[in-house]
């Protein structure tokens, strides 16, 4: 049986050609090799038999086109093949641009990467009027640049400053913001998209381009000034050796501007060079790890109501995030004074994320206080986020088991206590699961879903689906002190404090970690987590914490929350000395290898049984240098024997904390 066409061509009574894109068996449209080939064939005919106009639309409710099919990237591994595919894509976009009739793209949602490049190749873009952020060039997050000509066309359309910012940040913007930039020509209601498109084809309004004063910036010496200004800002945030794509885009701009033939050809070459770097391969891996976690949950979750017990920072933020994502949520604590600060933060979260006043009001209405716990009996899921005290948690769940429905999911947000220890007092311990969020809840995407010895598979599956439902990345793992992320972070942070005791300045230690690619140094991280919590986490693993940590906790210098820890904090920012010794290679190795070794121990001990999940946990839970593809992927690139040899060397110099995990040897054999 012949495969159904991905592009459906229809001609209406006005002699307007409608090209409808529909990728089978997927919820989104992606530009696969097959889709591009089909489109190319159709365009060849349209160039000869030109209709009154051509309108591109999607059959998917999720949006226009999500971008290129990332899964096809794996099969191409040499420059010539990548270049041929990129030039072919450019040729297709050039054919759209060359059509001798009005062309319109109907944007009904996600329009990203290659999808946006196709839309920009059209004369006009009509979009649904929305605050949803669904338009952008995310290629930079894969270590790449727009390769199908979007680099040149976006600069011509909205000017260099705005276009470069979109490409270099990879951020998504709403259709409203795209309209303000000039990237979208018209906004309308969903049911009016087609009518507006037909009117545009028939009336042929003036095609928008960037303003005259923005066009001037395409000439030297303005290009050089823009290049130097943006370059300096970028190099304050990243290393070009770790993330080469931003400077590649800038150099492309500096050297070739928007001279169509030259810039298109050079952008194709640069795309190929970047794709062959380890950074791009690893960032694509990170993207695929994210999709792997997203795919763990069931598409249909039955969670409509959530009850959170504990109105502190974590509890309130879990509740507000749940309400933000459409779930009717109640929050309980002993007194309204404990909940009030969280409600204030919730309002700020809703205003930041939703924009629309009506949507903000709906989210506020979904979040209610319930001091008496009246909603316990009707909740689909109950999440406990009270103090890290085993007896208190046991007492709570013993009561909850009697009060709630038999179908209610009972979850604890504990960060360090074993699930089976809490569940030991319950009549039905199989009901309890760990759902461990990270702070700040609204920023960190990972949530550990922890299976105790007796937790049922059905409860774990339901918990994973709930985490997916609220837009987080679920990481299934087995119960163990610290689970995955905190367990891996503990020796890393502890080693940083030992380095401090050895005479290294906090600034030097943090610089060593940041030079490697970590988002925050371990000393600042300890201050931000709270030194009291850091002390607790270290002690959970039976490791003797450095005396300095106990001293600071006893003195009440707990870090950012008290204004003083290893650093002094002013307006929640650490005051750091600008004069400090440069970090040595040994210092960097002590930090990173302690983290690598514990990552392997987690795998070896069966806390997680998949190297991909370990890498995903550390990347999405700690921000571990994404360009490496994760700690175990990074170790693999170095070579497991080299890792063992280095750990042996560090053990001789700095003690038994570096004794190689048994797991390294298992991977070699």
Q: Which of 217, 400, 258, 380 is nearest to 307 (CA)?
A: 380
Q: How far apart are CA 354 and CA 352, in angstroms?
A: 6
Q: How far apart are CA 231 and CA 266, in angstroms?
A: 19
Rg (CA), the chain: 27
Same structural domain for residues 419 and 445?
yes
281 lies in a domain? Answer: no
Same structural domain for residues 651 and 560?
yes
Residue with tokens 């030992």: 498
Is the previous residue joined to 440 through a cis bond, with omega within 30 degrees of 0? yes
Q: Which residues contact 449 (CB under 8 A, 6 or more apart)?
A: 433, 434, 435, 436, 460, 463, 464, 467, 474, 475, 476, 477
Q: How far apart are CA 513 and CA 516, in angstroms?
A: 5
Residue with tokens 């979904």: 366
Same structural domain for residues 114 and 246?
yes
Same structural domain for residues 321 and 394?
yes
Q: How far apart are CA 308 and CA 306, in angstroms?
A: 7
Q: Which of 607, 592, 476, 589 is nearest to 541 (CA)?
A: 607
Q: What is the pTM of this model?
A: 0.93
Q: How far apart are CA 598 and CA 491, in angstroms?
A: 7
Q: What average pLDDT does this structure show over 463-490? A: 94
The answer, yes or no, to whether residue 669 has pLDDT greater than 70, is: no
DSSP state, residue 582: P
Catalytic-role residue among 256, 264, 307, 436:
436
Maximum average pLDDT range among 74-78, 108-112, 569-573: 108-112
The answer, yes or no, to whether residue 606 has pLDDT greater than 80, is: yes
**Domain containing residue 181: CATH number:** 3.90.226.10
79 lies in a domain? Answer: yes
| Domain stop point among 257, 276, 295 | 276
User: Strand 133-136 vs strand 173-174: parallel, antiparallel, or unpaired?
Assistant: antiparallel
The answer, yes or no, to whether residue 26 has pLDDT greater than 80, is: yes
595 lies in a domain? Answer: yes
138 lies in a domain? Answer: yes
**Length of the chain counted residue by residue:** 669
Q: How far apart are CA 497 and CA 522, in angstroms?
A: 8
Q: Which domain holds residue 393?
A: 305-482
Q: Retrieve residue 368's tokens.
A: 């209610």
Q: How far apart are CA 87 and CA 454, in angstroms?
A: 56
The answer, yes or no, to whether residue 298 has pLDDT greater than 80, is: no
Same structural domain for residues 473 and 501?
no
358 lies in a domain? Answer: yes
- 406-450 tens-digit pLDDT: 999 999 999 889 999 999 999 999 999 999 999 889 999 999 999
As to burial, measured by CB atoms within 10 angstroms (0-12 exposed, 13-18 middle, 19+ buried), residue 156 is: middle
How distant, in Å, are the alpha carbons of 5, 25, 296, 485, 634 from that of 300? 29, 17, 12, 28, 36
- Give the pLDDT confidence score for residue 537 in this predicted structure: 78
Same structural domain for residues 463 and 525?
no
Residue with tokens 């309004």: 205
Bridge partners of residue 20, in order along the sequence: 8, 57
The answer, yes or no, to whether residue 193 has pLDDT greater than 50, is: yes
* Segment among 197-206, 289-298, 330-339 with least mean pLDDT: 289-298
User: Strand 63-65 vs strand 110-112: parallel, antiparallel, or unpaired?
Assistant: parallel
Bridge partners of residue 112, in order along the sequence: 136
The answer, yes or no, to whether residue 22 has pLDDT greater than 60, is: yes
633 lies in a domain? Answer: no
Q: Which residues contact 206 (CB under 8 A, 6 or more apart)?
A: none
Q: How far apart are CA 51 and CA 55, in angstroms?
A: 11
Is the previous residue joined to 221 through a cis bond, with omega within 30 degrees of 0? yes
Q: How far apart are CA 355 and CA 361, in angstroms?
A: 10
Question: Using an 8 Å Cβ cutoff, are 96 and 117 in contact?
Answer: no
Q: What average pLDDT does this structure show over 578-589? A: 96
478 lies in a domain? Answer: yes
pLDDT band at 542; cut points 50, 70, 90? low
| Domain stop point among 427, 460, 482 | 482
- 125-183 tens-digit pLDDT: 999 999 899 999 999 999 999 999 999 999 999 999 999 999 999 999 999 999 999 99
Spell out a b/e string for 351-384, using b for 16 or more CB atoms within 10 Å of the CB, else e.
eebbeeeeebeebbebbebbeebebbeebbbbbb
Q: What average pLDDT does this structure show over 530-545? A: 82
Measured in degrees and rounded to the nearest 5, phi and psi for residue 188 equal: -160, 175
- 626-650 tens-digit pLDDT: 999 999 999 999 999 999 999 999 9
Same structural domain for residues 259 and 318?
no
Known catalytic residue: 436?
Answer: yes
- Give the pLDDT confidence score for residue 1 in this predicted structure: 40
Same structural domain for residues 107 and 228?
yes
DSSP labels for 318-333?
A: HHHHHHHTT-EEEEE-
SS3 134: strand
The answer, yes or no, to whether residue 2 has pLDDT greater than 80, is: no
SS3 135: strand
Q: Which of 462, 324, 439, 458 is nearest to 382 (CA)?
A: 462
Same structural domain for residues 420 and 522?
no
pLDDT band at 271; cut points 50, 70, 90? very high
**Domain containing residue 373: CATH number:** 3.40.50.720
Same structural domain for residues 377 and 340?
yes
Same structural domain for residues 511 and 651?
yes
Q: How far apart are CA 507 and CA 505, in angstroms?
A: 5
**Domain containing residue 661: CATH number:** 1.10.1040.50
Measured in degrees and rounded to the nearest 5, phi and psi for residue 574 equal: -70, 135
The answer, yes or no, to whether residue 3 has pLDDT greater than 70, is: no
Question: Using an 8 Å Cβ cutoff, are 58 and 95 in contact?
Answer: no
The runs of H, that is alpha helices, within 431-546 are 457-469, 485-501, 506-516, 522-529, 531-540
Q: How far apart are CA 321 and CA 128, in angstroms?
A: 26
The total of structural domains in the chain comes to: 3
Question: Using an 8 Å Cβ cutoff, are 397 and 420 in contact?
Answer: no
DSSP labels for 370-428?
A: -TT-TTGGG-SEEEE---S-HHHHHHHHHHHHHHS-TTPEEEE--SSS-HHHHHTTSS-
pLDDT band at 76; cut points 50, 70, 90? confident
- Give the pLDDT confidence score for residue 533 in this predicted structure: 85
How distant, in Å, are the alpha carbons of 490, 523, 528 from that of 574? 21, 11, 9
| Domain stop point among 446, 467, 482 | 482
631 lies in a domain? Answer: no
- Give the pLDDT confidence score for residue 89 in this predicted structure: 96
Question: Using an 8 Å Cβ cutoff, are 620 and 444 in contact?
Answer: yes
Q: How far apart are CA 119 and CA 333, in angstroms?
A: 51
Q: Retrieve residue 302's tokens.
A: 């039955």
The runs of H, that is alpha helices, within 605-659 are 611-622, 631-638, 640-654
* Segment among 28-32, 36-40, 335-339, 354-358 with least mean pLDDT: 354-358
Question: Using an 8 Å Cβ cutoff, are 382 and 310 in contact?
Answer: no
Same structural domain for residues 62 and 174?
yes
The answer, yes or no, to whether residue 69 has pLDDT greater than 60, is: yes
């Amino acid at each position: 049986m012949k495969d159904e066409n991905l592009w459906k061509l229809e001609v209406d009574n006005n002699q307007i050609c409608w090209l409808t894109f529909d990728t089978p068996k997927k919820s989104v449209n992606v530009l696969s090799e097959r889709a591009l080939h089909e489109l190319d064939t159709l365009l060849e005919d349209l160039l000869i038999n030109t209709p009154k106009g051509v309108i591109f639309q999607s059959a998917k409710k999720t949006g226009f086109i999500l971008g290129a099919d990332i899964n096809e990237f794996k099969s191409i591994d040499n420059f010539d093949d990548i270049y041929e595919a990129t030039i072919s894509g450019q040729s297709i976009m050039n054919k759209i641009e060359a059509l001798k009739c009005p062309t319109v793209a109907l944007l009904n949602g996600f329009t990203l990467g290659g999808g946006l490049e196709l839309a920009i190749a059209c004369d006009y873009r009509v979009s649904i009027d929305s605050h949803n952020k669904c338009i952008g060039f995310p290629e930079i997050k894969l270590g790449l640049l727009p390769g199908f000509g979007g680099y040149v066309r976006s600069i011509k359309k909205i000017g260099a400053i705005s276009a470069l910012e979109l490409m270099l940040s990879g951020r998504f913007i709403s259709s409203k913001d795209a309209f303000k930039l000039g990237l979208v020509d018209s906004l309308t209601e969903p049911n009016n998209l087609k009518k507006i498109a037909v009117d545009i084809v028939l009336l042929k309004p003036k095609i928008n381009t960037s303003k005259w004063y923005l066009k001037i910036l395409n000439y030297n010496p303005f290009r050089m000034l823009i290049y130097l200004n943006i370059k300096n800002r970028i190099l304050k945030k990243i290393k070009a050796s770790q993330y080469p794509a931003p400077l590649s885009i800038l150099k492309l701009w500096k050297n070739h501007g928007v001279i169509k033939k030259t810039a298109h050809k050079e952008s194709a070459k640069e795309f190929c060079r970047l794709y062959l770097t380890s950074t791009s391969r690893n960032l694509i891996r990170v993207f695929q790890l994210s999709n792997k976690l997203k795919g763990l949950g069931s598409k249909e979750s039955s969670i409509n109501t959530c009850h959170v017990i504990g109105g502190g920072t974590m509890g309130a933020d879990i509740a507000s995030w749940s309400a933000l994502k459409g779930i009717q949520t109640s929050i309980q604590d002993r007194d309204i004074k404990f909940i009030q600060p969280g409600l204030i933060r919730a309002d700020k979260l809703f205003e930041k994320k939703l924009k629309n006043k009506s949507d903000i009001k709906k989210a506020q209405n979904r979040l209610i206080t319930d001091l008496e716990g009246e909603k316990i009996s009707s909740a689909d899921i109950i999440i406990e986020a009270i103090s890290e005290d085993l007896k208190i948690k046991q007492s709570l769940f013993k009561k909850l088991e009697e009060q709630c429905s038999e179908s209610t999911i009972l979850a604890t947000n504990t960060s360090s206590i074993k699930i089976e220890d809490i569940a030991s007092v319950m009549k039905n311990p199989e009901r309890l699961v760990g759902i461990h969020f990270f702070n700040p809840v609204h920023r960190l995407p990972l949530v550990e879903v922890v299976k105790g010895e007796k937790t049922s598979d059905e409860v774990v599956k339901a918990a994973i689906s709930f985490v997916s439902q609220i837009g987080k990345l679920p990481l299934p793992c087995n119960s163990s002190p610290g689970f995955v992320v905190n367990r891996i972070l503990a020796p890393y942070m502890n080693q940083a404090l030992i380095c401090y005791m050895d005479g290294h300045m906090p600034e030097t230690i943090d610089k060593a970690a940041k030079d490697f690619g970590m988002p925050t140094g371990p000393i600042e991280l300890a201050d931000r987590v709270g030194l009291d919590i850091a002390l607790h986490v270290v002690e959970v693993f039976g490791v003797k914490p450095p005396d300095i940590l106990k001293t600071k906790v006893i003195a009440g210098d707990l870090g950012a929350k008290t204004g003083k820890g290893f650093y002094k904090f002013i307006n929640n920012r650490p005051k750091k000395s600008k004069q400090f010794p440069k970090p040595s290679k040994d210092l960097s190795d002590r930090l990173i290898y302690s983290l690598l070794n514990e990552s392997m121990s987690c795998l070896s001990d069966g806390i997680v049984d998949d190297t991909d999940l370990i890498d995903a946990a550390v990347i999405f839970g700690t921000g571990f240098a994404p360009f490496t593809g994760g700690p175990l992927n990074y170790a693999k690139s170095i070579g497991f024997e080299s890792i063992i040899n280095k750990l042996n060397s560090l053990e001789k110099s700095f003690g038994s904390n570096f004794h190689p995990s048994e797991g390294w040897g298992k991977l070699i054999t």
